[in-house]
Protein backbone atom coordinates (compact mmCIF):
# COMPACT_ATOMS: atom_id res chain seq x y z
CA UNK A 1 0.00 0.00 0.00
CA UNK A 2 1.47 3.24 -0.98
CA UNK A 3 0.63 6.74 -0.04
CA UNK A 4 -1.55 7.15 -3.11
CA UNK A 5 -3.66 4.11 -2.43
CA UNK A 6 -5.64 5.79 0.35
CA UNK A 7 -4.30 3.56 3.09
CA UNK A 8 -2.62 4.86 6.16
CA UNK A 9 0.83 3.95 7.26
CA UNK A 10 1.18 2.11 10.55
CA UNK A 11 2.50 5.30 12.16
CA UNK A 12 -0.54 7.31 11.15
CA UNK A 13 -2.92 4.61 12.34
CA UNK A 14 -1.28 4.74 15.82
CA UNK A 15 -1.53 8.51 15.85
CA UNK A 16 -5.27 8.38 15.06
CA UNK A 17 -6.00 6.04 17.97
CA UNK A 18 -5.90 2.75 16.19
CA UNK A 19 -5.37 -0.21 18.39
CA UNK A 20 -1.89 -0.81 19.70
CA UNK A 21 -0.31 -4.13 19.84
CA UNK A 22 -0.71 -5.70 23.30
CA UNK A 23 2.25 -5.81 25.68
CA UNK A 24 3.89 -9.19 25.83
CA UNK A 25 2.63 -11.36 28.68
CA UNK A 26 4.54 -11.01 31.97
CA UNK A 27 5.42 -7.33 31.35
CA UNK A 28 3.72 -4.81 33.62
CA UNK A 29 2.37 -1.61 32.20
CA UNK A 30 3.78 1.65 33.57
CA UNK A 31 1.74 3.61 36.15
CA UNK A 32 1.33 6.43 33.62
CA UNK A 33 -0.22 3.98 31.17
CA UNK A 34 -2.68 2.77 33.81
CA UNK A 35 -3.73 6.31 34.83
CA UNK A 36 -2.13 6.10 38.30
CA UNK A 37 0.10 8.70 39.78
CA UNK A 38 2.46 8.72 42.77
CA UNK A 39 2.97 11.25 45.54
CA UNK A 40 4.28 14.64 44.60
CA UNK A 41 7.36 16.06 46.21
CA UNK A 42 5.24 18.60 48.13
CA UNK A 43 3.06 15.84 49.60
CA UNK A 44 6.13 13.92 50.74
CA UNK A 45 7.64 17.03 52.33
CA UNK A 46 4.40 17.81 54.20
CA UNK A 47 4.24 14.24 55.51
CA UNK A 48 7.87 14.44 56.67
CA UNK A 49 7.24 17.77 58.42
CA UNK A 50 4.22 16.37 60.27
CA UNK A 51 6.25 13.33 61.36
CA UNK A 52 9.11 15.60 62.50
CA UNK A 53 6.75 17.74 64.61
CA UNK A 54 5.25 14.65 66.25
CA UNK A 55 8.69 13.22 67.05
CA UNK A 56 9.79 16.58 68.51
CA UNK A 57 6.70 16.76 70.75
CA UNK A 58 7.24 13.22 72.05
CA UNK A 59 10.93 13.91 72.68
CA UNK A 60 10.25 17.13 74.59
CA UNK A 61 7.47 15.66 76.73
CA UNK A 62 9.50 12.53 77.50
CA UNK A 63 12.70 14.39 78.40
CA UNK A 64 13.61 14.26 82.08
CA UNK A 65 12.64 17.44 83.91
CA UNK A 66 14.45 17.92 87.25
CA UNK A 67 11.74 20.21 88.64
CA UNK A 68 8.99 17.73 87.76
CA UNK A 69 11.00 14.90 89.34
CA UNK A 70 11.49 16.97 92.52
CA UNK A 71 7.77 17.72 92.66
CA UNK A 72 6.98 14.01 92.21
CA UNK A 73 9.38 13.07 95.04
CA UNK A 74 7.86 15.76 97.28
CA UNK A 75 4.35 14.46 96.70
CA UNK A 76 5.51 10.90 97.39
CA UNK A 77 7.28 12.02 100.57
CA UNK A 78 4.16 13.93 101.72
CA UNK A 79 2.12 10.74 101.33
CA UNK A 80 4.73 8.73 103.24
CA UNK A 81 4.81 11.29 106.07
CA UNK A 82 1.03 11.08 106.31
CA UNK A 83 1.24 7.29 106.38
CA UNK A 84 3.96 7.37 109.07
CA UNK A 85 1.78 9.66 111.20
CA UNK A 86 -1.15 7.23 110.91
CA UNK A 87 1.06 4.18 111.56
CA UNK A 88 2.39 5.76 114.76
CA UNK A 89 -1.17 6.17 116.00
CA UNK A 90 -2.23 2.66 114.96
CA UNK A 91 0.87 0.92 116.35
CA UNK A 92 0.96 3.02 119.50
CA UNK A 93 4.71 3.58 119.05
CA UNK A 94 6.53 6.74 117.93
CA UNK A 95 7.90 6.84 114.38
CA UNK A 96 10.77 9.11 113.35
CA UNK A 97 11.71 10.34 109.90
CA UNK A 98 15.43 10.74 109.09
CA UNK A 99 17.12 11.83 105.89
CA UNK A 100 20.48 12.79 104.48
CA UNK A 101 21.71 13.76 101.00
CA UNK A 102 21.60 10.14 99.77
CA UNK A 103 18.21 8.92 101.04
CA UNK A 104 15.67 8.68 103.84
CA UNK A 105 14.21 6.17 106.27
CA UNK A 106 11.62 5.74 108.97
CA UNK A 107 12.46 4.43 112.45
CA UNK A 108 10.17 3.07 115.15
CA UNK A 109 10.82 3.35 118.90
CA UNK A 110 10.77 -0.16 120.37
CA UNK A 111 12.56 -1.68 123.33
CA UNK A 112 13.88 1.74 124.33
CA UNK A 113 15.69 2.40 121.07
CA UNK A 114 15.05 3.63 117.53
CA UNK A 115 15.01 0.77 115.00
CA UNK A 116 14.56 0.90 111.22
CA UNK A 117 11.10 -0.17 110.07
CA UNK A 118 11.56 -3.43 108.16
CA UNK A 119 8.06 -4.93 108.34
CA UNK A 120 6.35 -2.29 106.18
CA UNK A 121 7.11 -2.03 102.44
CA UNK A 122 5.84 1.55 102.23
CA UNK A 123 7.96 2.90 105.10
CA UNK A 124 11.17 1.14 104.05
CA UNK A 125 14.45 3.03 103.59
CA UNK A 126 14.80 4.59 100.14
CA UNK A 127 17.62 6.30 98.27
CA UNK A 128 17.24 9.62 96.47
CA UNK A 129 17.79 9.29 92.72
CA UNK A 130 19.70 12.58 92.80
CA UNK A 131 21.37 14.20 95.80
CA UNK A 132 18.61 15.95 97.77
CA UNK A 133 18.77 18.04 100.92
CA UNK A 134 15.84 18.42 103.33
CA UNK A 135 15.44 21.34 105.71
CA UNK A 136 12.85 20.98 108.48
CA UNK A 137 11.35 24.26 109.69
CA UNK A 138 9.31 24.04 112.89
CA UNK A 139 7.98 26.70 115.22
CA UNK A 140 9.48 24.87 118.20
CA UNK A 141 12.93 24.82 116.55
CA UNK A 142 13.30 21.03 116.41
CA UNK A 143 14.86 19.63 113.23
CA UNK A 144 13.49 16.08 113.49
CA UNK A 145 10.11 14.73 112.51
CA UNK A 146 8.65 12.45 115.17
CA UNK A 147 5.13 11.11 114.89
CA UNK A 148 3.43 9.87 118.03
CA UNK A 149 0.02 9.12 119.43
CA UNK A 150 -0.96 12.80 119.46
CA UNK A 151 -3.68 13.74 117.03
CA UNK A 152 -2.53 17.36 116.94
CA UNK A 153 1.10 18.34 116.37
CA UNK A 154 2.77 21.70 115.80
CA UNK A 155 2.69 22.70 112.11
CA UNK A 156 5.95 22.52 110.18
CA UNK A 157 7.51 22.80 106.72
CA UNK A 158 9.97 20.54 104.94
CA UNK A 159 11.93 22.20 102.14
CA UNK A 160 13.41 19.86 99.52
CA UNK A 161 16.42 21.28 97.67
CA UNK A 162 17.82 19.60 94.56
CA UNK A 163 19.92 21.00 91.71
CA UNK A 164 18.89 24.60 92.39
CA UNK A 165 15.17 23.82 92.60
CA UNK A 166 13.09 23.97 95.80
CA UNK A 167 9.75 22.44 96.75
CA UNK A 168 8.10 22.80 100.16
CA UNK A 169 5.90 20.30 101.98
CA UNK A 170 3.59 22.04 104.45
CA UNK A 171 2.06 20.08 107.33
CA UNK A 172 -0.79 21.75 109.20
CA UNK A 173 -0.38 19.61 112.33
CA UNK A 174 -3.71 17.86 111.85
CA UNK A 175 -2.48 15.29 109.33
CA UNK A 176 -2.87 17.23 106.09
CA UNK A 177 0.21 17.66 103.90
CA UNK A 178 0.42 20.03 100.93
CA UNK A 179 3.19 20.42 98.34
CA UNK A 180 3.99 24.00 97.30
CA UNK A 181 6.34 25.25 94.58
Asked whether residue 23 carries a pLDDT value surpassing 60, the answer given is: no
pLDDT at 71: 92
Note the pLDDT tens digit of each residue in 44-71: 899 999 999 988 888 777 667 778 889 9
The mean pLDDT value for 134-139 works out to: 90
pLDDT at 140: 83
The dihedral formed by the CA atoms of 48, 49, 51 and 57, expressed in degrees to the nearest 10 = 160
Calpha distance 104→123 (Å, rounded): 10
Note the pLDDT tens digit of each residue in 88-129: 999 899 999 999 999 999 999 999 999 999 888 899 999 998
Instruction: Please provide the CATH number assigned to the domain covering 67-180.
Output: 3.55.40.10
The dihedral formed by the CA atoms of 84, 85, 90 and 96, expressed in degrees to the nearest 10 = 60
In what side-by-side order are the strands of the sheet with 156-162? 133-138, 156-162, 165-171, 177-180
Strand, helix or coil at 28? coil
Amino acid sequence: MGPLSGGLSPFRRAARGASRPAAPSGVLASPAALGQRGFTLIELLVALMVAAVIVAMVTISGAPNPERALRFDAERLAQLLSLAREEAQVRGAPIRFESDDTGFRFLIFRDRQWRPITDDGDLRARPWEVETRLVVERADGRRTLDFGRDLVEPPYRVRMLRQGATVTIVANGLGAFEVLE
